[in-house]
Structure 1
Amino acid sequence: MSTSNENDFGVCAILEKNAVQRTSIELFTLKDRVAVITGGQGGLGLEMALAYAQAGTAVYCIDLAAQPSDQFKHVQKFIHDSPALVIGREKSTQSLKGRLEYVSCDVTKQENIWNTVRQIADKEGRLDICVASAGVLKGADVLEYPAADFQKVMDVNVNGALFTAQAAGRAMVKHNSRGSIILLAGMAGNIANKDMHTTAFNASKAAVIQMARSIASELGSKGIRCNALSPGYVYTEMTKEFLHDNPNMEKEWRSQNPLNRIAKPQELQGMALFLASDASSFCTGSNMLVDGGDTAW
């Protein structure tokens, strides 16, 4: 099933039909779409899940815990209790009302994540969006980095991203969906973070960026897009804990980008919506940096 019609908006639609079926702002809506997000019960995963649900998507948040966190339940209730958002023109409006669901699964187990995503897509009859945002960070001096810690980072950040993208791609092909796969990479995949002992994490994010390009190249003929989303420093629970233990680093992080600040989690919502929606229909194989200009210096 196609999620976009290139002839129902824009200048050509006006010239050919003297009318448009959609306005440009409607390109960013996700009415009746279905999404899966790994690492979705907190952090940036939950932030993106909120954005998609508010745009009209049924979002399945996949995480390791058997039961969702209180934070997830609170956001889930907020979405459930919120009125539908109405957008559009007088005679052609969309009522956007999404929802959040929780599913427990280990992304490092290929067969498990394949089956989980397949069951979700079969239940909903489609799959349009996949975000692989499950990740871990284990820091250590490069000369002392334990093999087990290095492998753990690779298992979750690299293998987990691949297995999730595979699961989504298989479901999208099965249900004839011209979907969007988004791999959460990071600024760390483009540069070596100053004064940070995170060799494994940096290597894993560089791998994810290249993985997105490769997946995009293979699945483009099936109408499936794949892009990497690379945030800079963001105030997540993980970074808050790090800054609490290393109070001098916040000033250093701020000084490393032209905006002289650290991003708020909600500042990733716009890019996440763009990559998931018809607004990015010709965007694939890209690495979208949202880093406050950190990598510009």
Structure 2
Amino acid sequence: MGEAVVEAGGIVYALDRLPEPSDDFLAAQNRIDPATTAGSLHYRRVDVSNNKDLNDVITSTADEHGKLNGAIAAAGIQQLTPAIDYTPADAARMLQVNYTGVLMTAQACARSILKHKTPDASLVLIASMSGLIANKGLLSPVYNSSKAAVIQLARNLAMEWSKPRDDDGVPGIRVNCLSPGHIVTPMVERNFEEVEGLREMWEEANMMGRLSRPQEFGGAGVFLLGRASSFMTGSNLVIDGGHTAW
């Protein structure tokens, strides 16, 4: 999605906890042709569970440009454990990243958007169809619950932030949610290694008979951040190959 926003002319900052950007990030950066796009892709190190660092990075980035047009909050971790074996520490760790990290990211971005009075700002929270269903063949009760919480969070942030602030003329901030179906990512590939036959089960579970690729969500990111979705807030966009439509 970051690449797609760059291709549309956006200045994109990818935030992650790695000390140095991954090879995938560097490859994406190298694919950008400055002769054909005004966009650019940058990296900032931050762990979303460290709220002070998160606020500092987002604030300094927005201050550098004098605005913040939007953000995609996508931090998430997975743990395959039967519910009966989950410990409080396991649950707290996952919710700290998947839910609280997303909330604090949205909060920090909203502060900068309001500070700089950025018009047409939009926040996108990445949930999952796992927030709507129980994933067949995968014991991930807390992960699924965290994604359901993100869907509800988007509705509530939209309720609070979508209207313009009459006292100082600051425009409202649209907040929407994106719920992908199964995507072949490194995290999901590890699931396939842990659970025999899981890939085949998932491929048969949607109407297209295959899993998605990350680049298939680029257009959704551009749509949700941009003016094409100017009357859309508090919504959950489900893109799952028909998995939840049976």
With the shorter chain as reference, the TM-score category is over 0.9
Match of residue 100, structure 1, among 18, 22, 41: 41
Match of residue 260, structure 1, among 203, 209, 212: 209
Question: Any idea what SS the aligned residue of 2:163 has?
Answer: helix
Q: Does 1:58 align with 2:11?
A: yes
**How big is the shift at 1:83?**
4.3
**How big is the shift at 1:158?**
0.4
Q: Partner amino acid for 2:207? A: P
List runs of 5+ in structure 1 lacking aligned partners. 1-47, 86-95
C-alpha separation between the residues in 2 aligned to 1:59 and 1:83?
14
List runs of 5+ in structure 2 lacking aligned partners. 165-171
The structure with higher relative contact order (CA 8 Å, sep 6+) is 2
Question: Any idea what SS the aligned residue of 1:210 has?
Answer: helix
Moved over 4 A (4+): none
Q: Partner amino acid for 2:174? A: R
Match of residue 234, structure 2, among 278, 285, 289: 285
| Same amino acid, percent of matched pairs | 40
Q: Partner amino acid for 1:205? A: K
Q: Does 1:242 align with 2:242?
A: no
**How big is the shift at 1:246?**
2.9
2:168 matched to which residue of 1?
none
> Which segment is superposed worse, 152-161 or 68-77?
68-77
2:220 matched to which residue of 1?
271
Provide, for residues 109-168 of structure 1, a one-character-per-residue CA deviation record: whole Å limited to 9, x for no partner: 222211211100000111001111011001101111122211111000000000000011
TM-score, normalised with respect to structure 2: 0.93
2:169 matched to which residue of 1?
none
Match of residue 151, structure 1, among 66, 80, 92: 92
Provide, for residues 74-119 of structure 1, a one-character-per-residue CA deviation record: whole Å limited to 9, x for no partner: 211221xx1444xxxxxxxxxx321111111111122221121110
Number of corresponding residues: 238
Q: CA RMSD in A?
A: 1.1
Match of residue 196, structure 1, among 138, 144, 153: 138
1:141 matched to which residue of 2?
82
C-alpha separation between the residues in 1 aligned to 2:242 and 2:211?
11
Question: Any idea what SS the aligned residue of 1:228 has?
Answer: strand
**How big is the shift at 1:249?**
1.0
Match of residue 154, structure 2, among 212, 215, 237: 212
C-alpha separation between the residues in 2 aligned to 1:150 and 1:181?
26
C-alpha separation between the residues in 1 aligned to 2:153 and 2:56?
22
The question of whether the paired residues in 1 share the 8 Å contact of 2:137 and 2:198 is answered with: no
Q: Partner amino acid for 1:224? A: I
**How big is the shift at 1:247?**
4.0
Question: Any idea what SS the aligned residue of 1:221 has?
Answer: coil
Match of residue 26, structure 2, among 73, 76, 81: 73
TM-score, normalised with respect to structure 1: 0.78
The question of whether the paired residues in 1 share the 8 Å contact of 2:177 and 2:235 is answered with: yes
